[in-house]
Structure 1
Amino acid sequence: MASTRIVIAGASSLLGAELKSLLEESRFAAADFRLVDEELAAGTLTEAAGEAAVIQPVEEDSFDRADIIFFTGSGNFTKTNLALAQRSGAAIVDLSGALAADSDATFFSTNLDLLKPNASLSAKKLLAIPSAAATAAATLFLALVKFAPEHLSFLALQPVSESGKKGIEELEQQTGQLLSFQSVGSPIFDTQVGFNLLDRFGPQSKESLSAARERLRSEVSAILGSAAKGPATQLIHAPVFYGHAFSLSAQLRSEADFAQLVAALKSAGLHLAPDVAPSNLSAAGESLIQLAAPQKDSSAQNVWWFWGAADNIRLPAFNAVKLAEKLLP
């Protein structure tokens, strides 16, 4: 019997590397892995199934005989190669955000599967894994639906690893320069990202917080559907390497007590850590969304605050593996 063929398109990215590692720890460890990426990353030496492997550029036959194709690179890379991948007939799973506004894409995460199970998931050919921030926002909304939320506001703090290795390197360099009282270099962000909170990068930045913000909003909207009045969302840069931290304010129409809220959150697969405040550090390497105990706002009626964190690389990679297990039983 032929082994499962898995293509990771965008294999040199942080997300691609994490996904490959988790797949190799799963029942897909013996799969036939094919690693491809953009021209600049082609030729990178890595390993697959314990053996040396070279990341290849995308060619006409890159997706042939694939059972499942993961896109883990940039959104532009996904859009450029999507049609070629679709011709293979394989299930396509996008983790890049390129399909955030595609009405044909089906979104999946383990949390959403608890709240909105999709019986026809295995028949889908175009699927997407939402970002950790979008997963948290949508999960919290769905968990609170029974309390008739009147208004919700969601704020996510984005780490530089959302911009890949180059983002991590620039924050690392700037941190050292600032601590040494040197002027900072900013070829990627065109502004000081070290020790700084921002709602936008510099005008010449190669990265866009506005685009990341729109991805978050589009993914949440796609998950909840057009009929739902989802949370107002905002995303800002935080001077950290890894992990999305987030805050949600919820004004509820109906009364809710602490125990009811906790039960609803736990039923959504959220991990409550009442004694320790979640942070990007506590979430590192975790495959779940951490949440602090909900806090009632003493100055406003029926308003509750929620604080949490999730690993922005690990969580979507974990969800992608769980989706693969459902698609390829």
Structure 2
Amino acid sequence: MSQSFDIAVIGATGTVGETIVQILEERDFPIGELYLLASAESAGSSVPYRGKNVRVREVDAFEFGKVNIAFFAAGPAVTRSYAARAAAAGCAVIDLSGGLPVDQAPNVVPEVNGALLATLARPLQVACPSPSAAALALVLSPLRDLLKIERVSVTACLAVSSQGREGVTELARQTAELLNVRPLEPRIFDRQMAFNLLAQVGVPDADGHVPLEKRLVSELRELLSLPLIKVGVSCIQVPVFFGDSLSVSVQTAEAFDLAAVNAALESADGIELVEAGDYPTPVGDAVGQDAVYVGRLRHGIDDVCELNFWATSDNVRKGAALNAVQVAELLIKDVA
């Protein structure tokens, strides 16, 4: 008889938390009891699951000994407040917030370094990287043995859903106000987001780097097991509801065969390679899908050691929720 697992989702009323519940149902994850948890302000609401509305409970009063796996899909402060309690109760922790140090909860993308899970102590504590780092690592992973990568430069165009449901609501509100010729008062963002591009996402440090840029660099090095690789990152906020896009340039130590790069990506799990002459977009291709879409692969204009490409994926679904559920699937693989 197959085994079932009791699951908790913390941050269940957020965009990522709701999507985790949706994907658990879609992939028929063997759930015994499902507990949906959130702050006191969100407790009492409900989230649909298998034809029913499951009531959301307050996380502060929850006994983690009731569950086998807890998905932490709220902010870093929530993870830091409750993850230790969950682990002490024998519950596996899958953190999507970046709230735990890497030596405590290493980052895992199943298609890239899923084998790492077998080496970790139980109860397992593991992290899911930022959606942009997950997407970029997924594309670069099948190229590690093919290219001698020296440097990666990326401009990450982040959808407003990277700021949670509030970001989505804010873009919709700003768009409506502008289209109706009403005065615009920015709230979540520090200036107009609708029909605009914002050159930084978050508060920069003394050197001008925002936390998300530094996080992407460290996560990419960790996921690819390339601690010395040079990475240049600029994160910008774009007026797109869902779907992050990456403009990437990879500098290699020697010339490479572009056809071999295409072949490696075409055969890799989790990647949809768009044929030459076409390119993917978040709205037309990636949103709601379970793959990273890659296109516009080309050499540098005057450098045969340079690879340029464009990638896009659903930041909430593929970059966060699906990655977390796939980690859980690997975790239970040997005991279900």
Alignment-derived partner of residue 14 in structure 2: 13
1:129-278 alignment runs, 5 A limit: 129-146=128-145, 147-200=147-200, 210-225=210-225, 227-269=227-269, 270-275=271-276, 276-278=278-280
- 2:294 corresponds, among 291, 294, 307, to 291
C-alpha contact 1:4 1:31 (8 A) present in aligned 2 = yes
- Which deviates more from structure 2 when the two are superposed, residues 117-126 or residues 61-70? 117-126
Structure 1 residue 102 corresponds to structure 2 residue 102:
yes
Provide closer, same or farther for how the CA distance between residues 226 and 297 of structure 1 changes in structure 2, counting only shifts above 3 A.
closer
TM-score normalised to the size of structure 1?
Answer: 0.89
* Count of residue correspondences: 321
Structure 1 residue 328 corresponds to structure 2 residue 332:
yes
C-alpha contact 2:17 2:73 (8 A) present in aligned 1 = yes
Q: Aligned partners of 1:267 and 1:153: how far apart in 2?
A: 24
User: Aligned with 2:133: secondary structure?
Assistant: helix
C-alpha contact 1:160 1:242 (8 A) present in aligned 2 = yes
Q: Aligned partners of 2:224 and 2:238: how far apart in 1?
A: 27
Query: Tell me, which stretches of 5 or more residues in structure 1 are unaligned?
Result: 204-208
Alignment-derived partner of residue 24 in structure 2: 23
The one-letter amino acid of 1:130's match is P
1:39-78 alignment runs, 5 A limit: 39-78=40-79
Q: Aligned partners of 1:221 and 1:60: how far apart in 2?
A: 38
* Alpha-carbon offset, residue 29 of structure 1: 5.4
Q: Aligned partners of 2:138 and 2:330: how far apart in 1?
A: 20
Q: Aligned partners of 1:153 and 1:59: how far apart in 2?
A: 42
Query: Tell me, which stretches of 5 or more residues in structure 2 are unaligned?
Result: 204-208
* Alpha-carbon offset, residue 251 of structure 1: 1.7
TM-score normalised to the size of structure 2?
Answer: 0.87
* Alpha-carbon offset, residue 148 of structure 1: 0.9
User: Aligned with 1:234: secondary structure?
Assistant: strand
The one-letter amino acid of 2:279's match is A
Alignment-derived partner of residue 206 in structure 2: none
* Alpha-carbon offset, residue 202 of structure 1: 8.8
Provide closer, same or farther for how the CA distance between residues 202 and 133 of structure 1 changes in structure 2, counting only shifts above 3 A.
closer
* Alpha-carbon offset, residue 32 of structure 1: 0.6
* Alpha-carbon offset, residue 138 of structure 1: 2.1
* Alpha-carbon offset, residue 60 of structure 1: 4.6
- 2:281 corresponds, among 279, 282, 292, to 279
- Which deviates more from structure 2 when the two are superposed, residues 157-166 or residues 292-301? 292-301
Alignment-derived partner of residue 309 in structure 2: 306
- Which deviates more from structure 2 when the two are superposed, residues 43-52 or residues 318-327? 43-52
Fraction of identical pairs, as percent: 30
